[in-house]
Amino acid sequence: MGGRSLSLAILITLGGCQATPLFQQIFPIAPAVQRPAPLPQDPHIQVYMNQNQAQGADYRDPYRNIERPGDDLEAVILSHIDAAQTSIDLAVQELRLPRVAHALVAKHQAGVRVRVVIEDSYHQYWHESDRSGPGSSNFRQEVLALVDTDGDGQISGAELAANDAIAILRNGRVPLIDDTADGSKGSGLMHHKFLVVDGAIVVTGSANFTLSDIHGDMTEPESRGNANNLLVVRDRPLAQAFIEEFNLMWGDGPGGRPDSRFGLQKPRRLPQMFMIGASRVTLHFSPTSPTQPWADSGNGMIARALNTSEQRADLALFVFSDQGLSNTLGNRHAQGVSLRVLIDPSFAFRYFSEGLDLLGVELRENCRIDPNNRPWPNPIDTVGIPNLPRGDKLHHKFGVVDQRLVITGSHNWSAAANHTNDETILVIENPVVAAHYDREFERLYQDARLGLTARAEEQIEENIKTCGR
């Protein structure tokens, strides 16, 4: 027996409380990852996160055959489509999940009324999509990985019919329109992400019905899907409000008169309030004309919710570029409210990002200062970017106020969402619901990169050298 083996044998036979620490020094044992217990759900409003790390939140990605943690958002969507008895109204910016498309066709053929509205930019077969420029090669690889099942580098008619969601819907004769149905070349963005089933259940959130928003990129094994949330709300009055929004966009449906209404063509509507079990829910559909008071807009509604904060507000945002909301946060910060803000890395340090205001710095575009920029004189150091799996984005649009109120929906915190796009905003006052968003924020914040990145600091220095202070 060699010297090291003999020493190890003696160590093991010694027993007692001193043996284990020494053994672990020789062969360190990695600590088990502690996953939190699942949170309780409200009976009327359930919350799902595709990167949920709770115990039992695991599933097998049906497209990449990867076992992974997280809530299967597609399974949630499919369960409600499959349960539909009379009607399905779906408004979603982008629909690329073939299993969802097949489920919609099956319901349509079974006699359920199915209506679908999508954004015109995505109303074509995948391989016809105009994705030129940076990333176009990756996009083609994504298309081939999903649709080209025999791997020959070509997409056959049979592969298209089986795996391209738009082809599946067209072949199944599911009634489908986009935002050119009003006779225009398209509104801003038809950016909604909602499904109404049987006039009684609303499924909505921040996720498009795509692989990248729900499961992850086909060609990136580490991807777990852009960080997104999904709500299932069981309430007929709320569902009817969503149907009214849907009907404005639908008009008389495909092939009829150009009577659909998108964007600012829709009538002005103020926020609607609902009591849903123990939850107080406020609903707003964007856009609002810039000729109307900002306080009456979607961003104005977000500001009112933020103004109720007394202790803290935590934000997880894809885009944050509305100056009015930055000013609102500045006022709350001056009143002693603690703020933590995470922004997607692709938008966090752009010249128009309000994250820069909160950090007390500015970037100029072509040496011009945005007149709305207001870097905080007393900046905070709790603004940053999350550490995400390779290929993923922070696609949430939520805020949590005092662990009791949630702001969420499809509406990015931007002027475009406020004044141009078709969007949904929900403000939900219920600590049981808020706990899910609070946990998601803490998960993202625990290893986030706070403050300016090295690249952002370089850009600011280059800006100063080129443009002066």
Residue-wise pLDDT for 105-143, tens only, equals 999 999 999 999 999 999 988 767 665 444 456 777 888
d(CA 153, CA 294): 51
Q: Give the per-residue pLDDT at 469.
A: 72
Reading across the β-sheet that carries 45-49, which strands appear in turn?
A: 45-49, 229-234, 201-205, 193-197, 87-92, 113-118, 176-178
Tell me if residue 406 falls in helix, strand or coil. Answer: strand
Torsion of Cα atoms, 276 then 107 then 147 then 188, to 10°: -50
**CA-based nearest residue to 388, from 211, 222, 141:** 222
The helix (H) or strand (E) run that includes residue 82 is helix 73-83
Torsion of Cα atoms, 231 then 296 then 352 then 411, to 10°: 20
Q: Give the per-residue pLDDT at 7.
A: 43
d(CA 211, CA 217): 6
Structure tokens at 252: 């008389």
* Residue 234 burial (C-beta neighbours within 10 Å; 0-12, 13-18, 19+): middle
Beta strands 229-234 and 201-205 are antiparallel
Q: Give the per-residue pLDDT at 130.
A: 60
| 12-16 long-range Cβ contacts below 8 angstroms, 24+ apart | none
Instruction: Please provide the DSSP assignment of 87-146 as one string.
Output: EEEEEES-B--HHHHHHHHHHHHTT-EEEEEE-GGG-S-GGG----STTHHHHHHHHHHH
* Residue 460 burial (C-beta neighbours within 10 Å; 0-12, 13-18, 19+): middle
Note whether 405 and 308 are within 8 A (CB): yes
The domains of the chain, with CATH numbers, are: 41-262 (3.30.870.10), 268-469 (3.30.870.10)
Residues of the chain with pLDDT under 50: 1-31, 132-135
Note whether 78 and 100 are within 8 A (CB): yes
Note whether 317 and 353 are within 8 A (CB): no
Question: In sequence order, which residues have a C-beta less than 8 Å from that of residue 146 and are 6 or more positions away?
Answer: 63, 96, 98, 126, 163, 211, 218
Peptide bond into 287 cis (omega under 30): yes
d(CA 316, CA 306): 14
* Model pTM score: 0.91
d(CA 131, CA 108): 31
CA-based max dimension of the chain: 90
- The dihedrals phi and psi of 410, each to the nearest 5 degrees, come to -95, -10
d(CA 114, CA 99): 16
User: Radius of gyration of the chain from Cα atoms?
Assistant: 25
